[in-house]
């Protein structure tokens, strides 16, 4: 591999990491040229599954990827249960634990259609609050199979799920939304287990918030990035050594092919999903056959949405937030 190409790299050696920067200026240099940035910058969507997306940031500094990661985790808003009014709870779960569980139930409600509730407001309005009711009572199942030992056959409502949420529209909310558009994303989230004599009677208030205030408002299950791995085999590896080389890397990274004369030879199939384990350095006869590196201005970004918004919308909202922060900073600087 020519490590002196035009890509800034981190070279993964056996006991250390070295950096290789090309002679031409890159986004990692201290001086920033917006024209060169526009020429090199690209976003390539690799995988899109509505609530999960993987894409490539090409030609950017890692700090920018980290900026978007932090914004999605802590400043892109979502709706979550903020207050729980407990009128009756005779289950074995303490009020505080139950309230905490309810707050972590992800809701479908689109936060872009709601406003932030002011701290001075004593009551919620149709613009900033969603109200739910949770009324469940466990009883004996008289119609069930008396010989069965399954709790579902013996009792009724022995499991309390998120599907037991009942939406209570505030004023004209019923005209603005449908019940399936604002309730829990999943109906099978287990909240509590009960037995005959146990009962829950709760009222839940959901508001708009951000993850910086509480993790329950974070719209992503996870958002992370990593540098693009690059693996080059610099000499031919064949036979049993090729099989060992393949096992040194994650599945799919190294494949075995047959040469024209029938020899089994190792080749790089897809270095993208290598985990940089450096297991190859365990073998004296293989450690000089491979050069492993990471391209510093090529970032693989993965977003997994909780479900209220799709992954691409969450990223777009993070871009808008960063833009507004930049405009606010420029205004402050111009006034100083």
Note the pLDDT tens digit of each residue in 157-186: 999 999 999 999 999 999 999 999 999 999
For range 279-290, the mean pLDDT: 92
Domain map of the chain by residue range?
9-75+222-234+289-301, 79-217
Cβ neighbours of 150 (radius 10 Å): 10
CATH class of 79-217: mainly beta
- Kindly report each contact of residues 258-264 with a partner whose C-beta sits within 8 Å and lies 24 or more positions away, as own/partner: 263/238, 263/239, 264/238, 264/239
State the number of CA atoms in the 13 A half-sphere of 56 facing the CB: 16
* Position 24 confidence tier, pLDDT thresholds 50, 70, 90: low
Gap between the Cα atoms of 173 and 123, Å rounded: 15
pTM, rounded to two decimals: 0.86
For range 52-75, the mean pLDDT: 93
**Pair 105, 306: CB distance under 8 Å:** no
* Position 1 confidence tier, pLDDT thresholds 50, 70, 90: very low
Gap between the Cα atoms of 211 and 8, Å rounded: 34
What percent of the chain is predicted at pLDDT more than 70?
Answer: 96
**CATH classification of 9-75+222-234+289-301 is 3.40.50.10320, yes or no?**
no
Burial letters 28-63, b for 16+ CB under 10 A, else e: eeeeeeeebeeeeeeeeeeeeeebebbbbbebbbbe
Q: Is 67 exposed, middle or buried (0-12, 13-18, 19+ CB in 10 A)?
A: middle
Give 145 or 25, the one with higher predicted confidence.
Answer: 145
**Pair 25, 36: CB distance under 8 Å:** yes
Gap between the Cα atoms of 252 and 244, Å rounded: 14
* Position 203 confidence tier, pLDDT thresholds 50, 70, 90: very high
* Position 27 confidence tier, pLDDT thresholds 50, 70, 90: low
Is residue 25 predicted with pLDDT exceeding 70?
A: no
**Pair 99, 214: CB distance under 8 Å:** no
What's the DSSP call for residue 24?
A: S
Smallest CA-to-CA distance from 251 within 270, 265, 264 is with 270
Residues 6+ apart with CB under 8 A from 3: 9, 11, 20, 291, 293
């Amino acid at each position: 591999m020519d490590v002196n190409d035009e890509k800034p790299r981190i070279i993964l050696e056996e006991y250390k990491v070295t950096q290789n920067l090309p002679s031409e200026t890159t986004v990692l240099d201290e001086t920033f040229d917006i024209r060169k940035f526009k020429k090199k910058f690209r976003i390539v969507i690799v995988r899109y599954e509505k609530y999960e997306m993987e894409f490539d940031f090409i030609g950017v500094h890692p700090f920018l990827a980290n900026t978007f990661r932090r914004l999605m985790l802590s400043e892109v808003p979502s709706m979550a249960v903020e207050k729980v009014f407990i009128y009756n709870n005779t289950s074995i779960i303490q009020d505080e634990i139950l309230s905490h569980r309810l707050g972590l139930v992800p809701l479908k409600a689109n936060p872009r259609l709601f406003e932030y509730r002011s701290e001075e407001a004593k009551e919620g309005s149709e613009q900033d609050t969603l109200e739910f009711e949770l009324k469940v009572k466990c009883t004996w199942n008289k119609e069930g199979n008396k010989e069965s030992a399954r709790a579902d056959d013996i009792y009724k409502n022995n499991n309390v799920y998120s599907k037991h949420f009942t939406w209570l529209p505030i004023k004209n909310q019923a005209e603005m939304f449908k019940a399936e558009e604002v309730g829990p994303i999943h109906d099978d989230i287990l909240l509590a287990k009960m037995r005959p004599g146990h009962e829950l009677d709760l009222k839940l208030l959901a508001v708009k918030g951000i993850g910086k205030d509480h993790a329950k408002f974070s719209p992503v299950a996870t958002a992370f990035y990593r540098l693009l791995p690059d693996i080059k085999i610099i000499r031919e590896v064949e036979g049993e050594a090729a099989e060992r080389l393949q096992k040194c890397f994650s599945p799919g990274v190294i494949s075995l092919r047959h040469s024209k004369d029938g020899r089994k030879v190792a080749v790089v199939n897809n270095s993208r999903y290598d985990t940089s384990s450096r297991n190859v350095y365990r073998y004296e006869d293989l450690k000089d056959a491979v050069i492993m590196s990471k391209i510093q201005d090529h970032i693989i970004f993965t977003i997994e949405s909780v479900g209220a918004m799709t992954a691409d919308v969450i990223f777009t909202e993070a871009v808008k937030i960063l833009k507004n922060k930049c405009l606010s900073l420029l205004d402050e600087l111009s006034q100083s």
